[in-house]
Amino acid sequence: MAESQIRMTEGSISKNIVKFAVPLFFGNLFQQLYNTADSLIVSNKLGAVALGAVSATSMLIFLLVGFFQGLSLGAGVLISQFFGAEDFRNMRRAIHTNLLFSIAVGVFLSVAGVVLSPQILKWMGTPESLYQGALEYIQVYFIGALGLVMYNACMAVMQAVGDSKHPLYYLIISSVTNVVLDLIFIMGFGFGVWSAALATIISQFLSVFLCLFRLMRVSDESRISIKELKPDFRMLWMIIRYGLPSGLQNSIIALANVVVQSNINYFGDMAVAGCGAYSKIEGFAFLPITSFTAAISTFVGQNIGARRFERARKGARFGIGMSMLIAEIIGVVFFLLAPYLIMAFTRDPEAVRFGVDKAKVCALFYCLLAASHSFSAVLRGAGKALVPMITMLMFWCVVRVGFLMIVVPLTESIAAVNWVYPLTWSLSTVALLIYYLKANWLGEKDNKTRQKT
């Protein structure tokens, strides 16, 4: 086993999870910082309308990309279970099948994103003042979609075998590259908002190159070989079976959030800019969530693969608790400092007001957001991704969209849009908690039955 890998089936549970999550946290922090730098440079050089153009595309980007990110999550779970079971032959087949599949997906996503984005932006009711900038940004972004998909595929491999250090190194390099290119393109050459997307995709491809260089040179079972890049349809079906619920979940949530964005658009470009600034800061609350959920899925996957069920349960409890605690601390800080943080992105008083209002409603409920994602991560690691998919479909899509369709026309207030998030976070957390406590999500009983027969 390589020095950078963490075998989570042995040793201290808390130490393993924290050791895995901390590099991911700092990697995600750097990624969030360069996303924030994008917005700061765009808003301060090109203005609030340009910031609104970028913000107007975020939900649409996740709608098209989230599905394939979910498939990568499924591949990661499958690889981690093979790794925990020390079934290295099937692990290598899963790695190479997923990479080949990701190449095909990246090409498809580039074409679909460029072709479909103009019409979808119109369906979303993007304000006329933002439309052209948003269209230019998103089309350039999707031209480089292959880099994004391939990066997620490489990350799935490294995280599945417990390597979270190298993704940190590569994110730091790509983050610095992205900021430097932003400064050159926008501040130096005076290019438009589209150049922020160009800087992002160049830095993304740099990350992919570094990941592939690493994976092709390691001496352990996770090494990538060009000779082994061939389709294995049985393994592809297993990857899809594990990843499809997560992919559908991401896309369904993103579709619901496109509806949310269209409701924000209804209140004008300053609402879009203000809520966009809020979203950039909210991204920092996601850092412990994404870090610990990745650690939880890998931990549960490896230990279920090794049939260490009680250890998987203890690790799940620790990861859920840490994710909720840190997310809530960030939420309290955001709640208290919201006006100053929002003003870092826009000085327009009306845009600031929209952003602060949303922060005051949502920030104190970040523990529930963390809980929903953490329970989902546990179930994905256990191969039960269908349960969080159904839960999110019900509460983050049906309830969220239904609430907006009824309440916003009645109130004519953006407060209804803001409150839909805490409401649906609460409902999904309760539903997933009940399943977590009552169901046989570890598969212990099924395993004992098989052993008896």
Cα 83 to Cα 85: distance, rounded to the nearest angstrom: 5
What confidence score (pLDDT) does residue 172 get?
85
What confidence score (pLDDT) does residue 261 get?
78
Domain contains 5: no
Domain contains 447: no
DSSP 363: G
CB-side neighbour CA atoms (13 Å) of 418: 25
Give mean pLDDT, residues 45-64. Answer: 71
Ranked by mean pLDDT, the top range of 24-38, 121-135, 184-198 is: 184-198
Is there a contact between 103 and 72 (Cβ–Cβ < 8 Å)?
A: no
Domain contains 8: no
Q: Is 373 left (phi over 0), alpha (psi -120 to 50) or beta?
A: alpha
What confidence score (pLDDT) does residue 168 get?
81
- Inform me whether the pLDDT recorded for 1 exceeds 60: no
Q: How far is CA 331 from CA 281, 359, 366, 367, 425, in A?
A: 10, 9, 6, 8, 14
Cα 190 to Cα 63: distance, rounded to the nearest angstrom: 30
Give mean pLDDT, residues 436-441. Answer: 88
Q: How far is CA 203 from CA 67, 170, 196, in A?
A: 22, 10, 11
- Inform me whether the pLDDT recorded for 449 exceeds 50: no
Q: How far is CA 86 from CA 82, 83, 90, in A?
A: 6, 5, 9
**pLDDT tier at 423, thresholds 50, 70, 90:** very high
- Inform me whether the pLDDT recorded for 450 exceeds 50: no
What confidence score (pLDDT) does residue 453 get?
37
Domain contains 2: no
Q: How many residues does the chain have?
A: 453
User: Tens digit of pLDDT for each residue in 374-407?
Assistant: 999 999 888 888 899 899 889 998 999 899 989 9
- Inform me whether the pLDDT recorded for 54 exceeds 60: yes
Provide the sign of the torsion angle of the four alpha carbons 446, 294, 362, 313, taken in this order: positive
Nearest to 256 by CA among 421, 435, 38, 410: 421
User: Tens digit of pLDDT for each residue in 77-113?
Assistant: 888 889 888 898 999 999 999 999 999 988 988 898 8
The two tokens of residue 282 are 């909210």
Domain that holds residue 247: 13-442
What confidence score (pLDDT) does residue 34 get?
66
> Which of the two residues, 146 and 35, has the higher pLDDT score?
146
User: Tens digit of pLDDT for each residue in 327-341?
Assistant: 899 999 999 999 998
Q: What percent of the chain has pLDDT over 70?
A: 93
H or E segment and range at residue 82: helix 48-84
Predicted model pTM: 0.75
Domain contains 187: yes
Domain contains 6: no
Nearest to 228 by CA among 155, 297, 157, 292: 157
CA angle 379, 385, 389 (to 5 degrees): 115
Domain contains 33: yes
Q: Determine the 3-state secondary structure of 343 from DSSP.
A: coil
Q: Could you give the angle at which helices 194-215 and 145-160 cross, rounded to 10 degrees? A: 40
**pLDDT tier at 63, thresholds 50, 70, 90:** low
Domain contains 131: yes
Cα 117 to Cα 113: distance, rounded to the nearest angstrom: 6
Residue that the structure tokens 């212990």 belong to: 444
The two tokens of residue 264 are 């924000």
Give mean pLDDT, residues 144-173. Answer: 86
User: Tens digit of pLDDT for each residue in 199-234?
Assistant: 989 998 999 999 999 999 887 788 898 888 888 899
**pLDDT tier at 254, thresholds 50, 70, 90:** confident
Q: What percent of the chain has pLDDT over 90?
A: 29
Cα 282 to Cα 255: distance, rounded to the nearest angstrom: 19
Number of domains present in the structure of the chain: 1
